[in-house]
Structure 1
Amino acid sequence: MLYKTLAAGVIAFGLPTFASATLIFTTSMGTSVTNPGFLSTIKYTDGKLEVINNQTSVCGVNPSWLEFAGDHIYCLDEVWASGSIGSLYNFQVTRDGTNLTQIKKLDTLGGPVSTVRYGKSLKGLAIAAYAGGGFQSFDISNPAAPKAIQNSTFTISQKPGSGAQQKTSHPHEVILDPTGDFIAAPDLGADLIRIFKVDKNTLKYVESKPVPTPDQSGPRHGAFVKLDSGTYFYVVTELSNQIIGWKVNYKTDTLDFGEKLFIIPTHGPNTSVPPGTAASELVISPDSKFLLVASRNETTSLMDIPNPEDKAAGQIKSDPIINYAIQSNGTISFQQVFGAGGKNPRHFSLSKDGSLVLTALQDDGRVALIKRDVQTGKLTEFIGAVHLGGLPTSAKFKE
């Protein structure tokens, strides 16, 4: 991914840049074949958000995740109607973001929900397949002809007392470690962090011994961080609504997480959440000093916030983003709770310089932009928002 700072006011595609604007790409799921999903391009200029492109059906009915590679965008379609087969789309995007041209469509394992680039020159693409209970890899070195390399599916024995989401394996994200030698995949169904050793040249992988999480925790999304004191891994659990941290020890063919460094509720020590609450996203700030998590379905504990689309329109209800400072020893300390911009923040991301937080609010059909103080790490105010409709599932800056 090619970056320029947001402060510089430009965006890099590996093509000529343009000044005073940056682009945001979002996916939104549809609700049926007759009401399909869509990809949107939003231009952010001088504190203003403007939707400049909506392309319906280009990534199927249920687009879930976006990955950038130069002037190409890879989009996953969960294909709910199928269950057994998902889709990976490859698009070439124009410099101004106003048009996506499909280059290739490939079948994947069922219900793909996350990708990460890996390998030499980042020419590999790994996929977590939620519905298919699997892990899959592709070679994207030739954007015109991406090709499947390997795939693995997992079987589990349902544990006593576990719910519907834990009847089968459900990998929910793929995360590259700082060395680029390993990929971690939280498996929500199995209560495991699956570990894969990758070959940077051939892009092939070998599964290592997984790391267990507490029963019925449902690990969903995570992140590595490299500090002076070592490398750490954090995961947020969807079912138990907790954040778990480990110090990572490197071995030749695997990662050893050892004993847990900590395990705390998503909202901080000695807190609880209403029944039905489901944590969603975990992100580390670009300076590796802060950890942010998003929570959904708060029901009785929803926050009152100014309407980010129109502050004069009064207040709306919002799920929260919870902010932590990462300490030198890898532990975390509570900083603040801030509104996500609406209900069900399935996904959020930070700008390259960390000054902006972008949230995809699935239940409100909205994408919101929040200002963040890079020195204190605190979220400070809503810059604005746009209503897209559908069910927004991801939102990312292409800087």
Structure 2
Amino acid sequence: MNQIARFYVGTYSRPLIFGTGEVFEGKGKGIHTYLFDMEKGTLMEEGAPTETANPSFVSLSADKELLYAVNELTTFKGKKGGALNIYRREKNGELTLLSQKATGGEDPCHVVTDRERKMVLVSNYSGGSLAVWPLDKDGAPVGEAQVIQHTGKGRNPARQEGPHVHSITLTRDEKFAVTADLGLDELVLYPVDKKQGRLKEAEKIIFPTGEETGPRLILFNRKGDRCYVACELSCEVLVLSYENGNFTLLQTLSTLKNGWSPENTAADIHLSKDEKFLYVSSRGEDTIAVYQVQEDGLLSLVEIVPAGVKTPRNFAIDPSGKWLLAGGQNSDTVAVHAVDPETGKLTLTGTFEVPTPVCLCFEP
């Protein structure tokens, strides 16, 4: 394996107002590219940033040829909503814009594509909706988006005054798209029609996560029979069994070391490369919780350690599986942690200046 890995950092480049009411001044320039030395645990910026407004989430296509990025905006080209950008990745790591589409909802914050590159799905957080397009052979969206609007509200008047679709994840068999709606305390499953590049809205299935949990991000294990949910408001991780569109709650664990308070919000969630450990970051307390994954998919707490940054909104595990990099949204830094392969424990080894990092995405 090459000891140098490239990764992309989505940043905030403009002022914006979070759901908490906080006004934030972004210091990034767009999508920044970095090279990470997997032997030394060090990083350095590569070239000039790809300038775009508030690319708060970036992801790669399954074949790694394309990078998809949202513009987290309330208005785009004079209309309400944000945008989706599709870039071709050049051999030198540079990004070439292929297409840009309005998402039909305010503050898009998450984007995902299927393995066959047949469709792309975007979450509109403030808009409380999701946008779906079929893709052409080049990976660009075709025609108008299918916009599915969620309705209702949750119990928390400050954070759940309406729907807030925070992410969309495909089940391992890609028969369903699962949305995490923070505002409604729901996971909503939509059957997938890959031929049309659409979701079957009329056949949706709703799984309640519990009042004021605020589901934010979810992930499935490789087998596809276990789902892990990071709940932002309750600072909990849920373990669910999954089979053919049906969830069953198996376990609920706190992500915090010092107990719940309204200043704390759970953020990102990832499995280790070998799926023996699960990691969840929490803002406010600014920690990362480490859990061991048992044979049945249930979790046992290993440790909760300082993230090494302020506001660890997002983190990533490098291709070697030896390092965990945590982005500090409010400290303009990325912390590098060595991962113990036997215990999953983290050891902070260094901190590097990176402007307003809110999403880290490694190439393989």
Q: Do they fold alike, i.e. is TM over 0.5?
A: yes
Contact kept? 1:38, 1:54, Cα under 8 Å: no
The aligned residue for residue 267 of structure 1 is 256
Work out whether 1:346 is the aligned partner of 2:313.
yes
1:31 paired to 2:27: no
Shift in CA distance, 328/372, structure 1 to aligned 2, threshold 3 Å: same
Give the partner amino acid of 1:292: Y
The Cα of 1:131 is off from its aligned counterpart by 1.2
Residue 395 (structure 1) aligned to one of 351, 360, 363? 360
> Is the contact between residue 86 and residue 140 of structure 2 (CA under 8 Å) also seen in structure 1?
no
Counterpart of 1:206 (choices 200, 208, 233) is: 200
Listed as ranges, the matches of 1:1-399 within 5 Å are 8-9=1-2, 20-32=3-15, 37-45=29-37, 46-47=39-40, 48-55=42-49, 58-60=51-53, 62-69=54-61, 70-80=64-74, 84-97=80-93, 99-108=94-103, 109-118=105-114, 121-143=116-138, 145-147=140-142, 148-159=144-155, 162-207=156-201, 208-226=204-222, 231-250=225-244, 255-258=245-248, 260-267=249-256, 272-298=259-285, 319-382=286-349, 384-389=350-355, 391-399=356-364
Q: Which deviations, in whole Å up to 9, do the C-alpha atoms of 1:192-245 show, x marking residues without a partner?
A: 011111123332211422100111111111111255xx7111211111111112
Extract unaligned runs of 5+ from structure 1: 1-7, 10-19, 299-318
TM-superposed CA distance for 1:388, in Å, is 2.3
Indicate if the aligned counterparts of 2:86 and 2:98 stay in contact, CA closer than 8 A: yes
Per-residue CA deviation, residues 110-168 of structure 1 (Å, 9 max, x unaligned), is 2111111116x133111111111111212333337422442201110454xx2222011
Cα separation, partners in 2 of 1:144 and 1:186, compared to 1, 3 Å: closer
Work out whether residues 10 and 31 of structure 2, in 8 Å CA contact, stay in contact via their aligned partners in 1.
yes
Q: CA deviation at 1:35?
A: 6.7
Q: Given that residues 268 and 280 in structure 2 are in contact (C-alpha distance below 8 angstroms), is that contact kept between their aligned partners in structure 1?
A: yes
Q: For the residues of structure 1 that align with 2:340 and 2:208, how far apart are their CA atoms?
A: 35
TM-score, normalised via structure 1 length = 0.80
**TM-score calculated relative to the size of structure 2:** 0.87
Q: Distance in 2 between matches of 1:112 and 1:369?
A: 28
Residues 336-355 of structure 1: per-residue CA shift (max 9 Å, x gap): 12232211011112123422
- The letter of the residue matching 2:182 is L
The offset of 1:381, in angstroms, is 3.5
Opposite residue 111 of structure 1, the aligned amino acid is D
Residue deviations 1:336-383, cap 9 Å, x none?
12232211011112123422212221001112222212332222332x
Do 1:92 and 1:101's aligned partners in 2 also have CA atoms closer than 8 Å? yes
Q: Is the 8 A contact 1:139 1:146 kept in 2?
A: yes
Looking at structure 1, the residues matched to 47 and 191 of structure 2 have their Cα atoms a distance apart, in angstroms, of 39
Q: Percent identity?
A: 26
Give the residue type in structure 2 aligned to 1:275: P
Amino acid in structure 2 at the alignment position of 1:381 = L
Instruction: Give the 3 Å change call, closer, same or farther, for CA 373–367 of structure 1 in structure 2.
Output: same
Q: Which moved more, 1:201-210 or 1:343-352?
A: 201-210
Q: Secondary structure at the match of 2:256?
A: coil
Task: Decide which moves more: 327-336 or 29-38.
Answer: 29-38
Root-mean-square deviation over aligned CA pairs: 2.3
For residues 69-96 of structure 1, the C-alpha deviation after alignment (integer angstroms, 9 at most, x for no partner) is: 3332111011145693111112223322
With over 3 angstroms needed to count, the CA separation of the structure-2 counterparts of 1:375 and 1:200, relative to structure 1, is: farther
Letter of the 2:255 counterpart: T
Aligned AA (1:335)? V
1:192–1:213 Cα contact (<8 Å) kept: yes
- 8 Å CA contact 2:135, 2:197 repeated in 1: no
d(CA) in 1 for partners of 2:235 and 2:168? 20
Name the aligned partner's letter for residue 339 of structure 1.
P
Q: Is the 8 A contact 2:8 2:34 kept in 1?
A: yes
Q: How many residues align?
A: 345
Q: Distance in 1 between matches of 2:211 and 2:243?
A: 23
Tell me the distance in 2 between the aligned counterparts of 1:183 and 1:176.
Answer: 4
**Secondary structure of the residue that 2:260 maps to in structure 1?**
coil
CA–CA separation in structure 2 for the residues paired with 1:201 and 1:21: 38
Deviation of residue 36 (structure 1)? 6.7
SS across alignment from 2:159: helix
